[in-house]
């Protein structure tokens, strides 16, 4: 089952204390977490504090410091449900070494089978992302503030330059951009309520941009040599690539499934497949364990050293499994794309 993953810049002042406060607020706000009840086992020894509730729920934290300064802080939260599944949420805040520059936070969620025959589901975006946006901790991604509100372009030069940058893949660095073109005049395939809802649900996953009118679209076509989307199409642009998907209401929304759902799911899938600039939990683990071994190598007993090596090996095994899963998903995606291109070529040859 494909994991959900996203990352975006955050304000430089965000530190481990504020990061942990976000975790606590998130878990306390859920209906399922039991980590703040009385019968919780807490282990504060070592570099990775751990809390375990009676139902098997776990929260592990880790902070990495380099030369006395915080380099990264992260958590892994595991929640086992009654249907044989494990819901795993991970996040790492990777701090920038340069004063005043933004840091980057990465999130990853998975639905993992604990029992044979467990029915897996696509993991959802964790609500902790929303709290980052609500508390105004997010930073700027290229020419956009990371938020859960749509950007309504205006019929002026600044908006045209921004739309041109979107079409050419130069407007963002971390998140996809959903570009909603006009059908005619100043009407769109979505109404304003749908646009607001889409932007709200994609906060921290993608930027949502709406062009003002048909005249704007025509001018943009000339600026981009036709690389823009138009005529009511929904374009999804990636950093450095420009538009990689074009969705249309008539072709892409059969039956009861509407175009809003397809745009939402496509944005999630594309963001989850994008290369990572931040760290996953396994990277934080690897860096922390290596640093701990090097720092304590003259003071560790042979038993402690073996335990540390085993923890490193376990993390490496987990990294290998994760990389194999990512590779298998990418091969499946490439195979599907090749099949789709073959079908397009075959159909064109028959016309």
CA dist 206 and 148 (Å) reads 9
Q: Which architecture does CATH list for 143-273?
A: 3-Layer(aba) Sandwich (3.40)
4-134: CATH topology is Alpha-D-Glucose-1,6-Bisphosphate; Chain A, domain 4 (3.30.530)
**Average pLDDT over every residue of 312-336:** 57
User: Higher confidence at residue 205 or residue 248?
Assistant: 205
CA trace torsion 1, 337, 226, 229 (10° rounding): -30
Q: Beta strand pairing status for 242-247 and 234-238?
A: antiparallel
Are 137 and 10 in contact, with CB atoms under 8 Å apart? yes
User: Higher confidence at residue 288 or residue 1?
Assistant: 288
Q: For residue 79, what pLDDT band results from cuts at 50, 70 and 90? A: very high
Residues forming CATH 3.40.30.10 domain(s) in the chain: 143-273
Residues forming CATH 3.30.530 domain(s) in the chain: 4-134
The DSSP element (H or E) to which 199 belongs, if any, is: helix 192-201
Q: For residue 44, what pLDDT band results from cuts at 50, 70 and 90? A: confident
- pTM for the whole structure: 0.83
Q: What digits encode the pLDDT tens for the residues 268-299?
A: 999 999 999 999 999 999 898 888 777 666 56
Q: What digits encode the pLDDT tens for the residues 247-275?
A: 987 654 543 358 999 999 999 999 999 99
**Average pLDDT over every residue of 191-212:** 97
> DSSP secondary-structure letter at 73?
E
- What percent of the chain lies above the pLDDT cut of 70? 79
Are 82 and 62 in contact, with CB atoms under 8 Å apart? no
Nearest to 151 by CA among 76, 207, 233: 207
**Average pLDDT over every residue of 211-216:** 95
Q: What digits encode the pLDDT tens for the residues 83-93?
A: 999 999 999 99
> DSSP secondary-structure letter at 122?
P
Region of poorest pLDDT, from 149-153, 233-237, 290-294: 290-294
- 38-42, 103-107, 244-248, 290-294 — most confident range: 103-107
């Amino acid at each position: 089952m494909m994991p959900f993953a996203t990352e975006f810049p955050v304000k430089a002042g965000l530190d481990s204390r504020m990061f942990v406060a976000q975790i606590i607020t998130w878990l306390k706000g859920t209906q399922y977490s039991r980590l703040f009840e009385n019968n919780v086992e807490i282990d504060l020894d070592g570099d990775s504090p751990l809390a375990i509730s009676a139902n098997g729920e776990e929260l592990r934290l880790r902070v990495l410091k380099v030369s006395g300064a915080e380099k990264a802080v992260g958590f892994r939260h595991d929640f086992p449900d009654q249907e044989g599944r494990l819901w795993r949420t991970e996040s790492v805040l990777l701090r920038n070494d340069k004063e005043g520059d933004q840091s980057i936070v990465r999130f990853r969620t998975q639905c993992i089978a604990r029992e044979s025959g467990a029915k897996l589901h696509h993991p959802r975006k964790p609500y902790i992302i929303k709290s980052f946006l609500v508390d105004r901790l997010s930073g700027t991604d290229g020419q956009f503030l990371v938020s859960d509100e749509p950007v309504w372009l205006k019929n002026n030069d600044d908006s045209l330059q921004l739309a041109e940058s979107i079409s050419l893949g130069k407007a963002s660095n971390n998140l996809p951009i959903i570009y909603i073109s006009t059908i005619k005049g100043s009407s769109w395939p979505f109404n304003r309520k749908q646009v607001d809802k889409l932007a709200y649900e994609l906060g921290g996953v993608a930027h949502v941009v709406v062009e003002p009118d048909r005249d704007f679209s025509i001018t943009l076509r000339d600026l981009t040599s036709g690389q823009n989307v138009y005529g009511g199409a929904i374009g999804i642009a990636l950093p450095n690539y420009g538009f990689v998907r074009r969705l249309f209401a008539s072709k892409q929304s059969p039956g009861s499934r509407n175009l809003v759902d397809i745009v939402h799911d496509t944005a999630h899938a594309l963001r989850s497949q994008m290369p990572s600039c931040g760290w996953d939990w396994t990277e934080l683990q690897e860096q922390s364990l290596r640093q701990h071994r090097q720092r304590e190598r003259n003071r560790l007993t042979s038993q402690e050293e073996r335990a540390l090596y085993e923890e490193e090996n376990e993390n490496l095994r987990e990294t290998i499994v994760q990389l194999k899963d990512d590779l298998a998903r990418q091969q499946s995606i490439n195979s599907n794309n090749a099949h789709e291109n073959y079908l397009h070529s075959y159909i064109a040859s028959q016309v």
